[in-house]
Amino acid sequence: LVRNAIAACLDLAEENVGTLMPGYTHLQRAQPVTLAHHILAWCVALERDAGRFADAAVRADESPLGAGALAGSGLSVDRERTAGLIGFARVSANTMDAVAARDAAIEYAAAAATLMAHLSRACEDIVLWASSEYGFVRLSPQASTGSSIMPQKRNPDPAELIRGKTGRGFGNLQALLTMEKGTPYAYNRDLQEDKALFFEIEDVANAALETFAVLVKSIEPDVARMRAALDEGFLEATDVA
């Protein structure tokens, strides 16, 4: 899903290599850039997110089977063999840690939270660009909604919903960290709370990525409006100097 989101951004960037616009710092017009350059900033952030998920997956790829309640099993279990049969890369090194640790869930949640932060920032760009004040882009009806009392107005609802759902991802990460921090080794009933938190984070991240790809594909740049925004504010002054 992250790769699909990147692909949608790359398609839009490729179509706008020559589309000029102002870059911003402090939300003030700064130096001239291209729309492609701006969108590629989203891409490299998403690429790092894909790397975080991959790194977390490597650490999570171990089998706890044979750990029992905490001290192993009295049965003659070949842990290496069962791990291989199930498809794990290795066995957990310590049975108490295998029972007590929720690192895999926390790492996934942290990667998802960072991803959501990046999606939210990109959505904030889109919300600003689609506003009357900027007017840099239009959103097709596929990714915008008519106002409830002003149907002539198109609202960037998908972008706002992704931005809003980001808080759920942040909150669940914090809940996972808080749940684990005070539990002595090994198992405590508190740890069952990880399931609902983890699955909700996964659902939110997946839905946000799918929605973001559709949102990006719906962007219709107003090339003339972007170019006109370069005509005021002496944006070329740095290059002249």
Which one of the listed residues 118, 147, 148, 218 is annotated catalytic? 147
Please report the DSSP string for 157-179 in residue order.
HHHHHHHHHHHHHHHHHHHHHHH
Q: With left for phi above 0 and alpha for psi between -120 and 50, is residue 25 left, alpha or beta? A: beta
79 is written with which tokens? 């842990």
Structural contact between residues 229 and 136, judged by C-beta atoms closer than 8 angstroms? yes
134 is written with which tokens? 């900027």
> Does 26 qualify as catalytic in the annotation?
yes
> Does 63 qualify as catalytic in the annotation?
no
Who's near 107: CB < 8 A, 6+ residues apart? 55, 56, 59, 60
Distance CA 237, CA 224 (A): 22
Residue (of 191, 172, 173, 195) closest to 182 by Cα position: 191
Please report the DSSP string for 77-93 in residue order.
--HHHHHHHHT-SEE-S
Which one of the listed residues 26, 76, 132, 148 is annotated catalytic? 26
Burial class (CB in 10 A: 0-12, 13-18, 19+), 132: exposed
Catalytic positions, written as ranges: 26, 147
